[in-house]
Chain A
Amino acid sequence: MMRLVFLLASALVLAACGDKEQTAAGVKSDTASFQGVTGPGNAYNVPGWKPGDKNAWEQQIKTRLQNGQNEYNRVK
Chain B
Amino acid sequence: MARMKFVCDAERCIECNGCVTACKNENEVPWGVNRRRVVTLNDGVPGEKSISVACMHCSDAPCMAVCPVNCFYRTEEGVVLHDKDVCIGCGYCSYACPFGAPQFPSQGTFGVRGKMDKCTFCAGGPEAHGSQAEFEKYGRNRLAEGKLPACAEQCSTKALLAGDGDVVADIFRNRVVQRGKGAEVWGWGTAYGSKQAGQPNGGKS
Contact = CB atoms under 8 A, between A and B. Distances in A.
Interface of A: 15-16, 18-20, 22-24, 26-33, 35-42, 44-46, 48-49, 51, 57-58, 60-62, 64-66, 68-72, 75
Contacts of B127: 28
A65 B174 contact: no
Prevailing SS type, chain B contact patch:
loop
A45 B163 contact: no
Contact of A37 (B70, B126, B141, B163): B141
11 contacts: A19-B108, A26-B86, A33-B144, A64-B146, A64-B163, A66-B167, A69-B152, A69-B153, A69-B161, A70-B158, A75-B198
A29 B129 contact: no
Given A26-B86, A64-B147, A72-B178, A31 B129 contact: yes
Interface stretch (B36-44, B50-58, B77-85): B77-85
A55 to B, nearest CB: 10
Nearest 10 interchain pairs by C-beta = A41-B130, A37-B130, A65-B163, A46-B146, A28-B126, A33-B143, A30-B126, A22-B85, A27-B83, A70-B171
B164 A68 contact: no
B73 A33 contact: no
Q: How large is the interface on B (under 10, 10 to 19, 20 to 34, 35 or more residues)?
A: 35 or more
Given A65-B168, A71-B158, A71-B186, A27 B144 contact: no
B130 A33 contact: no
B83 A62 contact: no
A63 to B, nearest CB: 10
Contacts of A29: 126
Interface of B: 1-2, 70-73, 75-77, 81, 83-86, 108-109, 123, 125-131, 133, 136, 141, 143-148, 152-153, 155, 158, 161-164, 167-168, 171, 174-175, 178, 186, 196-198
Contact of A68 (B72, B83, B130, B153): B153
Given A28-B126, A71-B158, A45 B167 contact: no
A62 B145 contact: no
B76 to A, nearest CB: 5
B22 to A, nearest CB: 13
Contacts of A62: 2, 163-164, 167
Contacts of A58: 1-2, 164
